[in-house]
């Protein structure tokens, strides 16, 4: 603590130009400030100020040391303020942006969050467009894929998987594909990414040198719910997340295909703007969602669910 006091006395003196001015800010006498600075110089074995009867001037070493000490003290003040903020009761509005399909995961757990934090209100924005969190005033978002923006903080959720599926009626008419190349003889339902306009690639594992199957897209759309609806109406084979397909698969309305030929991990992340202070309301939401989303994983091959392996990050 003596060293911190010495650093504080030094920085305030350098900022204000005199021991007297620094003492008024620190609540100390000018002589106490001068002694603290002298003790610091003795510990460092270097002179930080050039002193005269009329002025106090930083040495070259003192200027470099002042810049570093200023950052250190700013970080200490920041840590202290962050600690105080964690003691505040979380309250206020949170704007949460999510992909449209995320409501399947999100809505079932929100009642528990709202019961735990009754003074927090939620503004949910469901869309598949990649929003600019900072420009659009979004507090937290759930997103998948690459997150190149260095202004964002990221917390990963448990991975999900993509799978191919079709209805029993469609397969009765067109046959069941046994390997990826069989897909060339089938009708495909494609997902078009809203931001880029590109069609999602199907995550098929192939042997070395084996070409991609030629997919015959009879319908494309930029909404995963619509894609699932088209597949459920016997229009073709579609690729969708496991949690979106699980209920119709377990009910017998969809059949998962080519499970042994898929290399299909997916990842949702919680993201929020980087800042020096994470507000209590955002902190508790991030912690809650990381704990409660994807707490179990679909097991479509057996029709059962089992606890997710591993812990939430």
Q: Break the chain into its structural domains and give their ranges.
A: 2-86, 92-159+267-307, 160-263
pLDDT band at 311 (very low <50, low <70, confident <90, very high): very low
> Hey, how many other C-beta atoms are within 10 angstroms of the C-beta on 140?
22
Of 200, 173, 195, 188, give the one whose Cα is nearest residue 230: 188
Most confident of 11-20, 141-150, 167-176, 303-312: 167-176
What is the share, in percent, of the chain residues with pLDDT greater than 70? 87
Least confident of 55-64, 139-148, 286-295: 139-148
Q: What average pLDDT does range 126-153 have in this prediction?
A: 78
**79 phi, psi to nearest 5 deg:** -65, -40
pLDDT class for 277, splitting at 50, 70, 90? low
Higher pLDDT, 238 or 302: 238
Homologous superfamily of 92-159+267-307: Periplasmic binding protein-like II (3.40.190.10)
CATH of the domain spanning 160-263: 3.40.190.10
Choice among 30-39, 114-123, 200-209, 298-307 with the minimum mean pLDDT: 298-307
Q: How far apart are CA 259 and CA 275, in angstroms?
A: 42
The per-residue pLDDT for 187 is: 97
Q: How many degrees, rounded to 5, is the angle at CA 41 between CA 39 and CA 42?
A: 65
Higher pLDDT, 151 or 52: 52
Cite the DSSP H helix spans in 89-204: 103-116, 168-174
pLDDT at 301: 46
**Topology classification of domain 2-86:** Arc Repressor Mutant, subunit A (1.10.10)
The pLDDT, as a whole number, for residue 155 is 87
Q: Which residue has the higher pLDDT, 212 or 272?
A: 272
- Pick the most confident of 80-84, 99-103, 277-281: 99-103
Q: Is the pLDDT of residue 127 over 70?
A: yes
Tell me the average pLDDT across 54-76: 88
Q: How far is CA 311 from CA 3, 50, 294, 299, in A?
A: 41, 58, 10, 18
* pLDDT of 306 strictly over 70: no
The verdict on pTM exceeding 0.85 is no
- What is the reported pLDDT for 303? 41
Give the CA angle between residues 223, 224, 227 to the nearest 5°. Answer: 95
Higher pLDDT, 280 or 310: 280
Any idea which of 65-69, 127-131, 140-144, 207-211 has the lowest mean pLDDT?
207-211
Under 8 Å CB-to-CB from 246, ≥6 apart: which residues? 298, 300
Assess whether the region 2-86 and the region 160-263 belong to the same CATH fold: no
> Does the pLDDT of residue 293 top 90, yes or no?
no
Average pLDDT taken over every residue of the chain: 85
Average confidence (pLDDT) over 260-285: 82
β-partners of residue 268 are 144
């Amino acid at each position: 603590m003596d060293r911190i006091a010495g650093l504080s006395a030094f920085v305030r003196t350098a900022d204000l130009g005199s021991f007297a001015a620094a003492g008024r800010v620190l609540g100390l006498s000018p002589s106490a400030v001068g002694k603290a600075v002298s003790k610091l110089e003795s510990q460092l074995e270097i002179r930080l100020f050039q002193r005269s009867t009329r002025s106090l001037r930083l040495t070259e070493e003192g200027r470099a040391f002042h810049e570093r000490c200023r950052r250190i003290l700013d970080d200490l003040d920041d840590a202290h303020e962050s600690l105080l903020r964690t003691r505040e009761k979380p309250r206020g509005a949170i704007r949460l942006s999510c992909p449209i399909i995320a409501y399947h995961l999100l809505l079932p757990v929100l009642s528990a969050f709202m019961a735990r934090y009754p003074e927090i209100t939620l503004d949910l924005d469901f869309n598949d467009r990649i929003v600019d969190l900072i420009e659009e005033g979004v507090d937290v978002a759930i997103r998948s894929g690459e997150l190149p923006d260095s202004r964002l903080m990221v917390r990963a959720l448990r991975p999900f998987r993509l799978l191919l599926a079709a209805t029993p009626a469609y397969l009765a008419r067109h046959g069941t594909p046994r390997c990826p190349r069989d897909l060339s003889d089938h009708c495909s339902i494609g997902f078009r990414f809203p931001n880029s306009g590109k069609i999602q690639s199907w995550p098929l594992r192939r042997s070395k040198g084996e070409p991609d199957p030629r997919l015959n897209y009879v319908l494309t759309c930029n909404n995963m719910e619509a894609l699932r609806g088209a597949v459920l109406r016997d229009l073709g084979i579609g690729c969708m997340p496991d949690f979106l397909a699980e209920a119709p698969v377990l009910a017998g309305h969809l059949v998962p295909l080519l499970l042994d030929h898929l290399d299909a991990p997916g990842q949702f992340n919680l993201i929020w703007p980087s800042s020096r202070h994470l507000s209590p309301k955002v902190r508790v939401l991030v912690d809650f969602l990381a704990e409660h989303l994807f707490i179990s994983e679909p097991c479509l091959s057996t029709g059962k669910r089992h606890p997710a392996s591993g812990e939430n990050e």
